[in-house]
Structure 1
Amino acid sequence: MIYKNNQNNHRPTRSSLTIVIKVGTTTICDEKTHYPVLSNLSSLVELVLKLKSQGHRVVLVSSAAVATGLRRLNIDERPTKMSTLQAISAVGQGRLIRLYDDLFGQFHQPVAQVLLTKNDLSERAQYLNAVSCLEEILELGVVPIVNENDTICPQEIRFGDNDTLSAITAGMLKADYLFLLTDVDCLYTDNPRTNPDAKNVSVCHDIQVLQELVCVTSRGSALGTGGMSTKLVAADLATAAGVRTVITHGAKPENLMKIIEADDAGTLMTPHELAVVTGDDLLARNLPLHTLFTAKDNPLYDRKWWIKHGLHTAGRVYIDEGAMRAVLSRKQRSSLFAAGIVDVENNFVANQAVMIICRRKNEQGEVVEEVDIGKGLVNYSSIEIGRIKGCRSQDITDILGYMDAECVIDRDNLVRTLDNPV
């Protein structure tokens, strides 16, 4: 089964790759006993060491702090109270990193614990500092082991799951690959455990097309927080940053080498004009089951990717259709000026990120549709924008008594999420 698409994609070179591997809770810990699955962990450690011996840089994004804490405290079921989960995670995180240190230590490989929250990345200087720290760890030949800082992270600034965290990490490092290790071989069109007719998805060039074809409503395991839907979100984030993303089985980490080698040899890919490929003959081609999400042709890098995915959205700015055409015009790519703004929502201050929404109207002047066209950093607060909306730039000084900038959102601080004003 194939779906047409006109997208090209380029494979990363093999010389020295940056590879982010996200390993889920069910790969690391037994779902019922919470004991570590040492066979999987040992295989994972051996894989990382083999990749490093070939000159690649490897980052692990590891779940299982809560599961490890449950085992240590002899608690059978994952609680729902946030403060209890945070306390259990605090117990488990130290033991989890010690487990990794013991396994890697058998081969004299140092590891580093890196705990992040979304709040750490929302301020530009902190974001750049986190990137520099990870880069320096890799330069030292150390394996970073990344996890969310569950102990101090409130619900509103959580990544939500380590699939998203791994995609953010891969984007920060401009990684070549993100591998999402899970408890199934690949993404299927439906749950293969309940639907025998479910087909495996081998390659995806267009996630929007894929989302219309697959059913991913099943939740993750009793221990984990994610499911297949979170992996689609992660793949969307990572591919937007130019990172090829692969879903494959966590109990078979050796498959990663086969996938990378096949990709390097050019035998992994299907023709680029196919948006989604299901029921492919991967096994007939002697390739392990997996789902490959190809990177975007025009990925967002660094600053604009940070604005879109690293920053908390503090509010909304509503604009008219004329402003939308100017902002989205391929030739003009205009900044957003006060004259095109019709309304503002929520309270925010200058330099915070807001969504840019176009209110489209019918001939009677009634709003018939709201179109999300982008996200950007504002030069004025919500109160100031409320006062200058609809006004010309030269009138800002008369209205406010000062003018910090001619535009509300500069084109260099604006990320477009809609390609054409159709």
Structure 2
Amino acid sequence: MITDSYGFYVGTSSIVDENTHEPILSILTLIVETVAKLHRDGHNVVLVSSGAVGVGLRRMDVNERPTNLPRIQALAAVGQCRLMSLWDGLFSHLRLPVAQILLTRNDIADTTQYVNAQNTFSQLFEMGVVPIVNENDTLAVSEIKFGDNDTLSAITAAMVKADYLFLMTDVDCLYTANPRTNPDAKPIEVVDDISSIEADVSSAGSSLGTGGMSTKIVAAKLGTSAGVTTIITKSSKPGNVHEIVTYLQRLEQDSQGTTVPTDGSALLSPPLHTRFLRSDHPIQSRSFWLLHGLNPHGTIYIDQGAYSALLNKASLLPAGVVDVDGHFAQQEAVRLVVVQKLSPDSLNGDFLHHGQEPRVVGSALVNYGSHEIACIKGHRSTQIHSILGYADSEYVAFHENISFFPGDDSPPR
């Protein structure tokens, strides 16, 4: 019986030597053993693995990561074959089949493709297969990249409705300061409000990887907002994951009133890690897709009245639109920004009555393009036809196509 689903993210610096670019087989093997043990215990596991470019550097005897995009993409194409061969070979020793899934943001930008991806993951789990996910670096450009694989791992964890996401990194946990330079740095073991973090996240990652601790925080925000408990732990000790899982299971049993083992094992502390607690009000699948699966093509500025109405499940009327920025078409995603009443100079920062600064509150799929919305903004829906010569909808965006970021779930005071 499946009890939990787990997502693992391992970055390039965790599995590829920074100097020689050789795969770190000892860590790869431990990761495979950990995933296999969880799988044998009846859990679904998805592995998000970086490393294609790093492995490609070794395969082609290139000393340093190039800056030329086509060359990076070519190395990624070479390295991805080798990387999957490594994973497949190691998992095959434990008779555990794997599947390769390469994604770009475009692959989940369409709701049908997003659902198809979810269905593929579900079918792979039913077949007892471990999906191994990476960004499709061969095709990805800045406009369709996830930014880094920390973000991709959080989106993947949300797609498969994982209970836990483990971000494997080169430190045990998050600290109040950089432990390498500050001996007084204290570990942060549990974070229940990620917005209140005052930790040192200045680490910029390795020369091979693209992330650092700051990208782990971003991933944790995404994961916890989707209901995924997100954990930072040391990549060189993958076996810690099983101990942490055992500890968390005992915590849950204890909270439910289950009898604590008489040997006192439930009281043992787990290996050092940072656990970001999942949101009590997680974003649903479609809302998460609207917020994080789509790249915004522009911005719609709305007033406070429209914002309050939207939070009460209303659709967006043109009368509530203050201004438009960017060029986008019908049914494309846009940012929603709340502003106070503006001066006639519009978005030049001259707010009347000392109003608050603009605030990004969510995303929406629009029923009209940027030019049309610029024409009908501030007008009544009954005037749309006379202004445009047609009226596809009385709304700029339907309420089911609007989603807000966590914290923006109640009307402003």
TM-score above 0.5, yes or no: yes
In 2: Cα distance, 1:206 partner to 1:17 partner: 23
In structure 2, the partner of 1:221 is: 206
In structure 1, the partner of 2:169 is: 182
RMSD, matched Cα: 1.9
Quick one: which amino acid aligns to residue 406 of structure 1? E
Tell me how far 1:245 sits from its aligned partner.
0.5
In 1: Cα distance, 2:145 partner to 2:212 partner: 17
In structure 1, the partner of 2:99 is: 112
In 2: Cα distance, 1:323 partner to 1:52 partner: 48
In 2: Cα distance, 1:337 partner to 1:181 partner: 45
Tell me how far 1:168 sits from its aligned partner.
0.6
165-174 or 134-143, which deviates more = 134-143
Q: Which residues of 2 match residues 82-93 of structure 1 at below 5 A?
A: 82-93=69-80
Please, which of 351, 366, 378 is the counterpart of residue 366 of structure 2? 378
In 1: Cα distance, 2:2 partner to 2:245 partner: 12
Tell me how far 1:321 sits from its aligned partner.
2.2
Q: Does the 8 Å CA contact 1:361/1:368 hold for their aligned counterparts?
A: no
Q: Which residues of 2 match residues 148-297 of structure 1 at below 5 A?
A: 148-210=135-197, 213-266=198-251, 285-297=268-280
Please, which of 337, 343, 348 is the counterpart of residue 323 of structure 2? 343
In structure 2, the partner of 1:42 is: 29
Tell me how far 1:243 sits from its aligned partner.
0.5
Q: Does the 8 Å CA contact 2:340/2:352 hold for their aligned counterparts?
A: no
- Cα distance per residue 1:148-168 (max 9 Å; x no partner): 000111122111211111001
243-252 or 76-85, which deviates more = 76-85
Name the CA shift for 1:269/1:319 in 2 (closer, same or farther; >3 Å). farther
In structure 1, the partner of 2:398 is: 410
In 2: Cα distance, 1:70 partner to 1:172 partner: 31
Tell me how far 1:367 sits from its aligned partner.
5.9
In 1: Cα distance, 2:201 partner to 2:229 partner: 21
Tell me how far 1:350 sits from its aligned partner.
1.2
Quick one: which amino acid aligns to residue 83 of structure 1? P
Tell me how far 1:249 sits from its aligned partner.
0.4
SS of alignment partner, residue 189 of structure 2 = strand
Quick one: which amino acid aligns to residue 368 of structure 2? Y
- Cα distance per residue 1:142-192 (max 9 Å; x no partner): 111100000111122111211111001001111111000011101111211
Give me the identity figure in percent.
51
SS of alignment partner, residue 147 of structure 2 = coil
In 2: Cα distance, 1:398 partner to 1:181 partner: 58
Quick one: which amino acid aligns to residue 244 of structure 1? T
Quick one: which amino acid aligns to residue 109 of structure 2? S
Q: What's the TM-score, normalizing by structure 1?
A: 0.89
SS of alignment partner, residue 357 of structure 2 = strand
Please, which of 129, 146, 156 is the counterpart of residue 116 of structure 2? 129
SS of alignment partner, residue 342 of structure 1 = strand
In structure 2, the partner of 1:274 is: none
2:289 is aligned with 1:306: yes
- Cα distance per residue 1:8-44 (max 9 Å; x no partner): xxxxxx9521111011112211111111111111111
In structure 2, the partner of 1:20 is: 7
In 2: Cα distance, 1:222 partner to 1:56 partner: 34
Tell me how far 1:398 sits from its aligned partner.
2.1
Consecutive unaligned residues of structure 1, counting only runs of 5 or more, are: 1-13, 271-283
SS of alignment partner, residue 313 of structure 1 = coil
In 2: Cα distance, 1:255 partner to 1:132 partner: 31
2:409 is aligned with 1:421: no
Quick one: which amino acid aligns to residue 421 of structure 1? P
- Cα distance per residue 1:325-352 (max 9 Å; x no partner): 2223xxx332211011111111111111
Q: Does the 8 Å CA contact 1:17/1:57 hold for their aligned counterparts?
A: yes
In 2: Cα distance, 1:70 partner to 1:373 partner: 41
Quick one: which amino acid aligns to residue 240 of structure 1? S
In 2: Cα distance, 1:173 partner to 1:286 partner: 29
In 2: Cα distance, 1:56 partner to 1:373 partner: 36
Q: What's the TM-score, normalizing by structure 2?
A: 0.91
In 2: Cα distance, 1:90 partner to 1:155 partner: 17
SS of alignment partner, residue 64 of structure 2 = coil
Quick one: which amino acid aligns to residue 320 of structure 1? D
Q: Does the 8 Å CA contact 2:2/2:44 hold for their aligned counterparts?
A: no
- Cα distance per residue 1:99-120 (max 9 Å; x no partner): 1111111122111111000111
Tell me how far 1:294 sits from its aligned partner.
0.7
In 2: Cα distance, 1:235 partner to 1:364 partner: 37
Tell me how far 1:364 sits from its aligned partner.
4.4
Tell me how far 1:65 sits from its aligned partner.
0.8
Please, which of 43, 48, 57 is the counterpart of residue 56 of structure 1? 43
In 2: Cα distance, 1:321 partner to 1:60 partner: 43
In 2: Cα distance, 1:176 partner to 1:312 partner: 26
Q: Does the 8 Å CA contact 2:364/2:402 hold for their aligned counterparts?
A: yes
- Cα distance per residue 1:230-289 (max 9 Å; x no partner): 00000111111100100000111111111111111117999xxxxxxxxxxxxx943101
Consecutive unaligned residues of structure 2, counting only runs of 5 or more, are: 256-266, 343-350
Quick one: which amino acid aligns to residue 162 of structure 2? A
- Cα distance per residue 1:72-108 (max 9 Å; x no partner): 1112222222222111111111001001111111122
Name the CA shift for 1:312/1:364 in 2 (closer, same or farther; >3 Å). closer
In 2: Cα distance, 1:268 partner to 1:208 partner: 28
Quick one: which amino acid aligns to residue 60 of structure 1? L
2:383 is aligned with 1:395: yes
